[in-house]
């Protein structure tokens, strides 16, 4: 699990390089995402490679969101695969996260 | 003891009442036949003394009326008369009188005759008490010894049964014998006659069948064949049945969940009804032989039926077919309902049966061959990639032939993941070596995943106390499970936690298969 981050203007796009975000690798995700969250106020999490996520993975994303919101920043999420989208729909995470279908769409709201 | 005295002669009524009270009786009086009838039908009395000649309704008519209306207990009727003619006495006896008292009354004769009345009503009451107790014992025998509950889980076969007892104890019996490899035996029977004797014979026959099963199982490696079991049972009990002048109809059916077949022996029991899901048609399956107890040298040939997916087999007592007028009529009733869920069919039958007077016990067993397309067991140790292994394996079965849609499989897998990751967090905190047993089965109408693991008991309500620091994620996991599957349960089996998750292939209101 790695996070590939790229700065586009004032926004950091963090791409999750993993097929899953779940109980098994949530620790690795937390460590990898931590520096990005700490150093940036405006982050887009690109989930285009993640095909499966569980509540633990979602929980880790929620703590990122809390952390960024806490310092007045913003976290956007983009490129959800159908399986991940289903999880978001099930627990109504689209009301909690700012979700975009593509990276372009996420950037356009900046 | 209560006595009702009906006489229009006030002075005589007073005199008689006083005498009776002095003898220790509780007395109620009425001045004429109609009022006497009202009082009697409201309170009931073990002893009634009636004057023959009265206005509105005379003693003879009142006597007939009392006899025509069957009361719970026997009523001893004494007719007061000045008549001594033989014909009059015969008329009174024919109207239902038990004894006479001649006016004017002789107090010692009154005492003697009431003594007889008291003795008869008391012994009748004692007999009735014994009968009531016997009925209760019989009903208890029937409930405890003669009716088994259907097994919860037999792969490939779904079972639901219902029994509506009639007012009296009967000789119906029903039981299930599930075997490990998806084989289920269903035994249903009915002993001739009613009451405790029938229930006792039923218990004897059932016990003889079970003894035969046991002794045959101990003699050979495979499952005992039905023909052999019934032959041995018959050898054990037929002489006794013949000497007791009784017999039993019974049907012994064996479902092979994994092999799509039903084998049965029907000894004079109502015809099995088979509904073919493919043809949407009901048929009656032929009987094999005469009832047990008819012939000493009876043979018990087996019938074998090939089952199709969704086929329904209905076993029942004649109490059920009698409601409809016969097996054919029952089959006609069943036909348009056969594709409904089993509990819905039972519900409709119960509603239907309530409308009619139930003369006999109604026992109704429905078994559906749901088919097992594929099933897999997976045992993993709880390193974190175990969950991924389990997901892959479960997806293979869930989306195999006749499997779930992509979306449905995705939801089931998400629920399985949540159950597993929840187990990792709470079962043995900090301890990774936890065995996880998964069992996934693809049934006709659903896919079921069962996860078993040892460790701390997990009850959803206790989540917040178990994991105060991760309440939010834990709660999220349960929410996901609840929304992803159609049925879920958390239970305990010894030291093991058992999580069962069921994803249906269609919604319950779609009755068509």
Predicted confidence (pLDDT) per residue in B53-93, tens digit: 888 888 889 999 988 887 778 899 999 887 777 888 888 88
> Mean pLDDT over residues B485-508, rounded?
86
Distance (Å, whole) CA B41 – CA B44: 6
**CA distances in angstroms from A91 to B76, B356, B503, listed in the order given:** 77, 50, 18
Mean pLDDT computed over B461-484: 62
pLDDT bracket for residue B21 (50, 70, 90): very high
Nearest to A90 among B420, B473, B484 (CB): B484
Q: How far apart are the first and last CA of chain A?
A: 28
pLDDT computed for residue B144 by the predictor: 76
pLDDT exceeds cutoff 50 at B287: yes
Average pLDDT over residues B277-300: 89
Q: Which of B390, B476, B478 to mutate: most A Cβ within 10 Å?
A: B476
Kindly state whether B260 is in contact with chain A, defined as any CB-CB distance less than 8 angstroms.
Answer: no
Q: Using CB atoms, pick whichever of A23, A86, A90 lies closest to residue B384.
A: A23
A93: nearest CA partner in chain B: B476
How many CB atoms are closer than 10 A to CB B298? 18
Q: Which of A3-17, B51-65, B497-511 has the highest mean pLDDT?
A: A3-17
Of A22, A62, A82, the CB nearest to B417: A22
Contact indicator for B75, B66 with CB cutoff of 8 Å: yes
Residue B407 with chain A: CB contacts under 8 Å: 86
Query: Do the Cβ atoms of B480 and A56 come within 8 Å?
Result: no
Chain segment B203-255, per-residue pLDDT in tens: 999 999 999 998 888 888 788 999 999 999 999 999 999 999 999 999 999 99
Q: What is the mean pLDDT of chain B?
A: 84
Distance from CA of A36 to the nearest CA of B (A): 23
Output the six-digit token pair for B486. Answer: 């159609």
Comparing CA positions, the residue from B74, B72, B73, B77 lying closest to residue B48 is B77
CB contact under 8 Å between B476 and A58, yes or no, is yes
User: Pairing between strand B272-276 and B312-316?
Assistant: antiparallel
Q: Give the SS3 label for residue B256.
A: strand
* Mean pLDDT for the stretch of residues B476-493: 90
Average pLDDT over residues A38-54: 95
Residue that has been written with the tokens 């077919």 in this structure: B321
Inform me whether the C-beta atom of residue B470 falls under 8 Å from chain A C-beta atoms: yes
Q: Using CA atoms, how far apart are residues B24 and B424, in angstroms rounded to an integer?
A: 80
Q: Which residue of chain B comes nearest to A59, CA vs CA?
A: B473
How many other β-carbons are positioned within 10 Å of the β-carbon of residue B54? Answer: 24
Q: Which residue of B has its CA nearest to A58?
A: B473
Q: Which of residues 17-36 of A touch B (CB under 8 A)?
A: 20, 22-25
Q: Rounded to an integer, what distance in angstroms lies between the CA atom of residue B192 and that of residue B64?
A: 35
Q: Provide the pLDDT for residue B372.
A: 67
**Interface ipTM > 0.85:** yes
Q: How far is CA B280 from CA B274, B319, B336, B372, in A?
A: 10, 25, 8, 21
**Rounded to 5°, angle at Cα B462 from B459 and B467:** 115
* Whether A54 and B473 lie within 8 Å, measured CB to CB: no
Q: And the tokens for B323?
A: 């409601």
With both helix axes pointing from N to C terminus, report the angle between A82-90 and B406-426 in degrees, rounded to the nearest 10.
70
């Amino acid at each position: 699990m790695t996070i590939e981050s790229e700065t586009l203007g004032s926004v950091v796009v963090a791409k999750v390089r993993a097929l899953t975000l779940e109980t098994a690798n949530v620790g690795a995700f937390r460590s990898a995402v931590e520096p990005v969250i700490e150093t940036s106020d405006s982050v887009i999490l690109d989930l285009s490679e993640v095909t499966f996520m569980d509540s633990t993975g979602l929980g880790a994303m929620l703590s990122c969101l809390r952390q960024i919101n806490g310092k007045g920043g913003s976290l956007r999420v983009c490129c959800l695969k159908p399986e991940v989208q289903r999880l978001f729909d099930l627990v109504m995470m689209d009301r909690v996260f700012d979700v975009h279908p593509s990276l372009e769409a996420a950037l356009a709201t900046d | 003891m209560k006595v009702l005295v009906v006489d229009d002669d006030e002075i005589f009524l007073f005199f008689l009442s006083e005498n009776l009270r002095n003898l220790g009786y509780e007395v109620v009086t009425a001045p004429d036949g109609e009022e006497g009838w009202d009082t009697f039908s409201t309170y009931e009395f073990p002893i009634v003394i009636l004057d023959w000649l009265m206005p509105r309704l005379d003693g003879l008519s009142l006597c007939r009326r009392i006899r025509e209306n069957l009361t719970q207990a026997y009523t001893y009727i004494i007719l007061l008369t000045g008549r001594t003619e033989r014909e009059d006495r015969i008329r009174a006896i024919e109207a239902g009188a038990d004894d006479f008292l001649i006016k004017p009354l002789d107090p010692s004769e009154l005492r003697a005759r009431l003594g007889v009345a008291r003795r008869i009503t008391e012994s009748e009451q004692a007999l009735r008490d014994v009968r009531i107790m016997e009925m209760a014992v019989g009903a208890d025998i029937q409930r405890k010894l003669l009716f088994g509950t259907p097994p919860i889980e037999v792969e490939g076969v779904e079972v639901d049964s219902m029994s509506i007892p009639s007012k009296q104890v009967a000789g119906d019996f029903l039981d299930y014998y599930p075997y490990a490899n998806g084989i289920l035996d269903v035994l249903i029977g009915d002993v001739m006659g009613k009451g405790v004797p029938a229930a006792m014979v039923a218990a004897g026959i059932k016990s003889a069948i079970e003894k035969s099963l046991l002794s045959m199982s101990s003699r050979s490696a495979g499952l005992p064949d039905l023909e052999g079991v019934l032959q041995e049972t018959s050898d054990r009990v037929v002489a006794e049945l013949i000497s007791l002048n009784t017999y039993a109809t019974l049907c012994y059916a064996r479902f092979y969940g994994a092999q799509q077949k039903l084998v049965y022996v029907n000894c004079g029991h109502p015809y099995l009804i088979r509904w073919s899901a493919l043809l949407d048609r009901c048929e009656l399956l032929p009987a094999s032989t005469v009832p047990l107890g008819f012939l000493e040298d009876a043979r018990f040939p087996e019938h074998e039926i090939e089952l199709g997916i969704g086929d329904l087999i209905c076993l029942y007592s004649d109490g059920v077919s009698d409601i409809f007028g016969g097996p054919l009529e029952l089959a006609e009733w069943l036909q348009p309902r056969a594709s409904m869920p089993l509990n819905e069919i039972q519900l409709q039958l119960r509603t239907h049966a309530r409308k009619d007077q139930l003369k006999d016990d109604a026992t109704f067993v429905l078994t559906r061959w749901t088919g097992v397309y594929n099933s897999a067991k997976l045992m993993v140790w709880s390193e974190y990639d175990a969950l991924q292994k389990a997901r892959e394996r479960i997806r293979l079965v869930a989306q195999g032939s006749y499997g779930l849609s992509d979306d449905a499989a995705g939801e089931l897998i998400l629920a399985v993941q949540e159950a597993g990751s929840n187990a990792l967090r709470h079962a043995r905190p900090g301890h990774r070596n936890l065995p996880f047993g998964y069992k996934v089965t693809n049934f006709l109408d659903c896919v079921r995943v069962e996860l078993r693991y040892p460790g701390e008991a997990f009850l959803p309500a206790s989540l917040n106390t178990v994991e105060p620091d991760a309440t939010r994620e834990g709660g999220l996991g349960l929410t996901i499970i609840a929304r992803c599957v159609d049925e879920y349960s958390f239970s305990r089996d010894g030291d093991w936690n058992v999580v069962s998750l069921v994803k249906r292939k269609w919604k319950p209101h779609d009755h068509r298969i």
